[in-house]
Amino acid sequence: MRKAFKFRLFTNANQERKLDIALETHRRLYNVYLDYRELAYSMYGVTLSYLDCSRWFKVQRRTNPFFARIDFSSARATMRRLDKAFAAFFRRVKAGKNPGFPRFKGRDHFDSIEFPAYGDGVKRIDGNLRVTNVGLIKVKMHRPIEGQIKTVSLKREAGHWYAVFSCDLGDVKVEPSTHPPVGIDVGLESFFTTSDGDQEPNPRYQKTALPALRRAQRSLSRKRKGGKNRRKSRRKVAKIHARVKRLRREHHHQVSRKLVRRYGLVAVEGLNIQGMLKNDRLARSISDAGWSGFLETLRTKAESAGVAFVEVDARGTSQQCSACGSEVRKGLSVRQHVCPHCGLSLHRDENAARNILARGLLARTGPVGANVGVA
């Protein structure tokens, strides 16, 4: 199992300048490689492979001092990134979807340097981080790293640098548990409802941050393009976004921890959030609640605690009666499930959570679909 650990880097001015230059060099490498591929294709009808570009980069390094200063394996990771973008592009073409050709990356859309093999270009020394051609950077370790570090990426977020360590924790066995199982229904009214009937209230960071964000965005739109004030304003907007993101992540960790401590099996619905976001008027609330990020955090926490995590197909879970199985049709505005067949009456989300739990238990123990989606 993989787990990510993220730490703030405390760079001095010199290190920060070097990191900024390295990031800019990686961005240019990405764009030059894209340009090069496009050119080869439009002029000669040739599709360049990653290997072609890796060779080309090797030659470029001899004459380009910026290319020469970035770590070779991290440069390869940047080239691989573009290769992945192309692979996804061709996949979409094949599937007949809107292809979306890989785009040139502007300064605001390229924010990380990847090191695919720990020890090559980056290394921890006494809790700090040694980065080739940058130096020894002070790291604030607010929690210990677990497992074996596999990859590292350096990330710039709202003017600060972070290191993200991706670690391999090995296989954690799911132990038979004495704790009860639970089904979770994520919703709009509450953040989620459990099959026990507990409702976790919605945190509304974005809503609280919204007035400040609107103000900052308005101020940004008034600033002259390319000016110093515009850059300042943009940084302010990015800062508010980063704060909301941090609060949301903290909340996800906190509620996930609570669930994993209390239960031995967690069943959730496999959500199609992208589809919902497109169709629902309540899109802002949904992305505000950040379900997909929450379920991902919950999965990671469950896996590392040895708690079973089951994803189920949630179609019809809100319409089906959890006591007798009958279909009880109701619109979104009907908040209570009242079954005319067996008389069960409870909150619609609790009913849905009970159905999710039943499906999760079936997937765990039933002969059909056993182990599907089980951590």
Distance CA 354, CA 345 (A): 13
Smallest gap, in angstroms, from Cβ of residue 313 to Zn ion? 21
CA–CA dist 219, 31 (Å, integer): 31
Residue from 39, 59, 283, 324 in contact with Zn ion (CB under 5 A)? 324
Compose the 270-309 pattern: x for residues touching Zn ion by CB under 5 A, - for all others: ----------------------------------------
Residue 130 has phi, psi (to 5 degrees) of -95, 120
DSSP code of 111? -
Size of the site for Zn ion (CB under 5 A): 8
CB of 113 or CB of 339, closer to Zn ion: 339
Q: Which is nearer to Zn ion, 26 or 359 (CB)?
A: 359
Q: How far is the CB of 354 from Zn ion (least distance, A)?
A: 11
Decide: is 342 part of the binding site for Zn ion (CB under 5 A).
Answer: yes
Q: In the stretch 13-52, what mask flags binding to Zn ion with x, by CB under 5 A? A: ----------------------------------------
Least distance in angstroms from the C-beta of 252 to Zn ion: 34
- The β-bridge relationship of strands 160-168 and 181-186 is unpaired
Q: Which of 300/322 has CB closer to Zn ion?
A: 322
At its nearest, how many Å lie between Zn ion and the CB of residue 349? Answer: 16
Residue 56's Cα: distance from chain center in Å? 33
**Other CB atoms closer than 10 Å to residue 102's CB: what's the count?**
20
Nearer to Zn ion, 133 or 326 (CB): 326
For every residue of 251-272, DSSP letters joined together read HHHHHHHHHHHH-SEEEEE---
State the minimum distance, in angstroms, from the CB of residue 351 to Zn ion: 9
- Of 158 and 323, the one with the shorter C-beta distance to Zn ion is 323
Q: Exactly one of 213, 282, 323, 362 binds Zn ion (CB under 5 A); which one?
A: 323
Query: Of 288-296, 308-316, 341-349, 353-361, which part binds Zn ion (CB under 5 A)?
Result: 341-349
- Minimum gap (Å) between residue 343 Cβ and Zn ion: 7
Cα 197–Cα 261–Cα 288 angle in degrees, nearest 5: 60
DSSP element (H, E) containing 36:
helix 13-44
| Exposure b/e, 162-182, CB count within 10 A at least 16 = b | bbebbbeeeeeebeeeeeebb
**Among 196-204, 250-258, 313-321, 346-354, the segment contacting Zn ion (CB under 5 A):** 313-321
**DSSP-assigned letters across all residues of 281-318:** TTHHHHHHHTHHHHHHHHHHHHHHHT-EEEEE--TTTT
Minimum CB separation from Zn ion for residue 337, in Å? 9
Kindly indicate which of the ranges 6-14, 162-170, 230-238, 323-331 contains the residues binding Zn ion, using the contact rule CB under 5 A.
323-331
Q: Binding string, 57-96, against Zn ion, x = CB under 5 A?
A: ----------------------------------------
- Do the beta carbons of residue 266 and residue 374 sit within 8 Å? no
Token pair for residue 217?
A: 């965005």
Q: Does 341 bind Zn ion (CB under 5 A)?
A: yes
Question: Is 323 exposed, middle or buried, given 0-12, 13-18 or 19+ CB atoms closer than 10 A?
Answer: middle
| E strand segments, the chain | 2-10, 112-115, 122-125, 128-131, 135-140, 148-157, 160-168, 181-186, 192-194, 199-200, 265-269, 308-312, 336-338, 345-347
339 in contact with Zn ion (CB under 5 A): yes
Supply the minimum distance, in Å, between the C-beta of residue 340 and Zn ion: 8
Q: Kindly list the residues in this chain that would bind Zn ion in the complex (CB under 5 A).
A: 321, 323-324, 326, 339, 341-342, 344
